[in-house]
Structures are given as C-alpha cells and as structure tokens.
C-alpha cells in the first residue's frame, strides 16, 4: 500500500454529438472531453474526465485551460506523492490551487478509480457501497424544433430508454416556449414527467409571470430560471410554491450549497460532480441538501462515459434521489470510447460491478478522437 503517483497525463478528445444540442447558453455540435490518466508505482492506471459545455459558455474553465492547468500545476504537485492517501492529496491540491473545480474533479476521479482498482472494489465502495444497482435517467429534448423533440421523445419511450424529459427553454420568447412545452406535454401524455431548464435565461419578473402557466402546462420542475447570483430571486420564486425550483448553475460547491440551503432558495439541488469540484465535494453537498430537506437530482455537464459513470457510482450510494438523474451524456455522442458501452436499459443506467469505475477504454477510439 505504498504506491506513489508516477505520471499524470491529459488528452483532449473531440466527439461529435448525434444532433445539435440547443440551450439558452450554447448550441453544441460536438463535445470535448479532457481525459486524465494517473499512473502509480504499483502498475495501476486511474482515469478521470473533465468536460465543459460549449467551451467557456457555461463556466470559467475550458477544455484547453483544464488541460494546461493539469499539465502545468496539478501534475507536478501530486507526482511522487502517495497515491493511497486520497484525503491528503485533496488537501495538498486545495491548499495550492484555487477554483478549477472541473480539473480537480477529473484528477480526483482518476485517483479514486486507481485506488478502488488497487483494493479490488467498485468505486462506490469508497463512498460506503451502492444502495441501488441502477439509477433512473432522464433525457433532454433540445433539438430546437418542437416536432423533432416530440418524435425523439416517442422513440425514447418506445425503446424504454427514458420516460422523463427535460426541455431546454429560455432562448425563445416565453410565450413561444410555453407553446413548445404544451405541445410536447400533450404528445407524451400525463404519465410522463416534463421538467424545464432555463439556464438562467429569464429575468425574475419573467420567471414569476411564467410560474402559473407552466404549472397549468404540467411542468413538474423548473431548473435555474434566473441568474445564478440572484439567490434572493430564487428564494422568492421558491416561496411561491407553484412549481418546485431546482438550483443548478448557482451551486458551485459546498459554500454555495450552504448559502442556498440556509435561505431555502430552492426545493431541489442538481448535484454535479464537476460543478461541485469532485466526488467528495459532491457528497458533502448532498449532505447539506439532506440536512436542509432539499430534494436531490443527479445532474450532468453532458459528460462522456467516464465522468458519467463516476457520478453514477456516487449517486448509487445515496438513499434517495427524489428527482432521479440525467446521466445520459454518452448517449448524446455519436461514438463510444469504452470497450463495452455503459448499460442503459429499462429507463435506467446500471452501476458497473468491476473494480474502480468498472469501465475500460477502447484505446483505438481514444486515439482516433484525440486532438492532434
């Protein structure tokens, strides 16, 4: 158990999406994954992933900055250190490197993957072990076209892949968004849960005006309707009690979680391992939500298979994810970089049982998509 870190390497992979993914913050035609590999002196390789949305559209880290910062700052800081003392590595990183939550998450994931492989246990065992063998997975309808979204939803329902849908709104006029939502709800029926994500696209006044019509249209949940910094506004919208409000962009780590929970600025927290700054921070954030009686949702940064399954391992250890998850990122990509794709079936994602993340890279595919 004296293994040390011998090498940290990064590569950027560009993988096309199956269709344009249209959000109020960006339209994505491809996704860039930063793949991190950490090799240790006992011959183990741990893998992690950092993925952003639309370059710098969503936050302050881009794939390029993540790669540079890992190569230039993280790698020298942890190379030569014990690979088994995860808390101590985390402390070392946080003492020297501010912010960079996505990069920290990728490094931490690779360290957890390596350590769980070393112990011969699935990653979830390091968080107390899975309570659930599978987690429910919602799909996001974001083609930008109502009829295409309806056809996509129907296909997902028929193939038993997803029966919960999140609609991206906030780029059209609110009245056009309402028409779009009503048409989709009418097509999929009452048994199918429809949620919307505004990605901060509305002012507080617009959001307030939308609450009643959205409730009447059958919307179950509204995600980040207004600017991430307007916590008092989120509190006022939540206090209306008309449609539950979920915080996403406002939640960048445990301090944000505490501020939102203390003032009850949301009914639901979207937990994202990258936004939280890693698996352990995400677990801490979950604890804050649980203590404050705020419901939980497993969120995604539209990550590829590695970050997706890392988050799924953590979510499998949480007793109650009241709003399920949206861990569908790999399904939005045209190609798969794992030797065996993740198991999506019967509206769920199955939690792998092998050591570490329980996944293996298809190295030929990885090379093919690696940016020269």
Q: Distance (Å, rounded) from C-alpha 221 to C-alpha 215?
A: 9
Annotated catalytic, 98?
no
- Which of the stretches 109-117, 242-250, 281-289, 308-316 binds Mg ion when contact is defined by CB under 5 A? 242-250
Out of ligand MUC, Mg ion, none, what residue 78 binds, judged by CB under 5 to 8 A for its kind, is none
Listed in sequence order, the residues at least 6 apart from 218 whose beta carbon sits closer than 8 Å to its beta carbon are: 185, 190, 194
State the Cα–Cα distance between residues 235 and 214, nearest whole angstrom.
18
Interface with Mg ion, residue 197, by CB under 5 A: yes
115 versus 252: smaller Cβ distance to ligand MUC: 252
Contacts to ligand MUC from residues 275-304, by CB under 6 A: 299-300, 302
Residue 54 or 352 having the CB closest to ligand MUC: 54
**Set 166, 168, 185, 272: catalytic member:** 168
Q: List Cβ neighbours of 253 (8 Å cut-off, separation of 6 or more).
A: 101, 275, 276, 277, 281, 285
Q: Give the footprint of ligand MUC on residues 194-233 (CB under 6 A).
A: 197, 199
Q: Which of residues 235-254 bind ligand MUC (CB under 6 A)?
A: 248
| Structure tokens that stand for 159 in this block | 């193939």
State which of residues 49, 113, 177, 326 lies at the interface with ligand MUC (CB under 6 A). Answer: 326
Is 326 a catalytic site residue?
Answer: yes
Beta bridge mates, 338: 361
- The residues near 123 (Cβ < 8 Å, ≥ 6 apart) are 112, 113, 116, 310, 313, 356, 357, 358
**Given 24, 40, 100, 140, the residue binding ligand MUC (CB under 6 A):** 140
Residues paired with residue 233 on neighbouring β-strands, in sequence order: none
Figure out which of the listed residues 111, 142, 234, 276 binds ligand MUC, where binding follows CB under 6 A.
142
- Closest approach of Cβ 299 to ligand MUC, in Å? 6
Q: For ligand MUC, which is the closer residue by CB, 108 or 197?
A: 197
CA–CA gap between residue 139 and residue 217 (Å, rounded): 19
Look at the alpha carbons of 240, 242, 244, 249 in this order and tell me if their dihedral is positive or negative: negative
> Active-site residue numbers?
168, 326
Residues that bind ligand MUC (CB under 6 A): 23, 53, 140, 142, 197, 199, 248, 299-300, 302, 326
């Amino acid at each position: 158990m004296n293994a040390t870190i011998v090498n940290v390497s990064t590569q950027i992979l560009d993988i096309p999406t199956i269709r344009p993914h249209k959000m109020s913050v960006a339209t994505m035609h491809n996704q860039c994954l930063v793949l991190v590999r950490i090799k240790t002196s006992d011959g183990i390789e741990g893998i992690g992933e950092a993925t952003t949305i639309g370059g710098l559209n969503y936050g302050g880290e881009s794939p390029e900055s993540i790669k540079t910062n890992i190569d230039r700052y993280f790698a020298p800081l942890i190379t030569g250190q014990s690979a088994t003392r995860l808390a101590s590595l985390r402390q070392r990183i946080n003492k020297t490197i501010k912010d960079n939550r996505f990069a920290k998450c990728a490094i931490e994931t690779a360290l957890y993957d390596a350590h769980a492989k070393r112990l011969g246990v699935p990653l979830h065992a390091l968080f107390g072990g899975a309570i659930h063998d599978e987690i429910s997975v919602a799909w996001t309808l974001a083609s930008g076209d109502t009829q295409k979204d309806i056809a996509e939803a129907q296909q997902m329902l028929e193939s038993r892949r997803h029966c919960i849908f999140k609609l991206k709104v906030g780029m059209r006029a609110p009245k056009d968004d309402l028409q779009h939502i009503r048409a989709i709800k009418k097509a999929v029926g009452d048994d199918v849960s429809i949620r919307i994500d505004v990605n901060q696209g509305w002012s507080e006044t617009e959001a307030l005006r939308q609450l009643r019509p959205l409730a009447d249209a059958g919307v179950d949940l509204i995600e980040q309707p207004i600017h991430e910094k307007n916590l008092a506004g989120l509190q006022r919208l939540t206090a209306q009690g008309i449609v539950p409000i979920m915080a996403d962009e406002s939640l960048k780590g445990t301090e944000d979680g505490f501020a939102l929970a203390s003032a009850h600025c949301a009914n639901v927290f979207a937990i994202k391992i990258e936004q939280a700054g890693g698996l352990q921070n995400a677990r801490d954030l979950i604890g804050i939500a649980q203590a404050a009686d705020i419901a939980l949702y497993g969120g995604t940064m539209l990550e590829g298979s590695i970050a997706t399954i890392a988050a799924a391992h953590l979510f499998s250890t949480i007793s109650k994810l009241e709003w399920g998850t949206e861990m569908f990122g790999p399904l939005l990509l045209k190609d798969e970089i794992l030797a065996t794709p993740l198991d999506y079936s019967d509206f769920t994602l199955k939690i792998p049982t092998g050591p570490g993340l329980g996944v293996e890279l298809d190295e030929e595919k990885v090379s093919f998509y690696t940016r020269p």
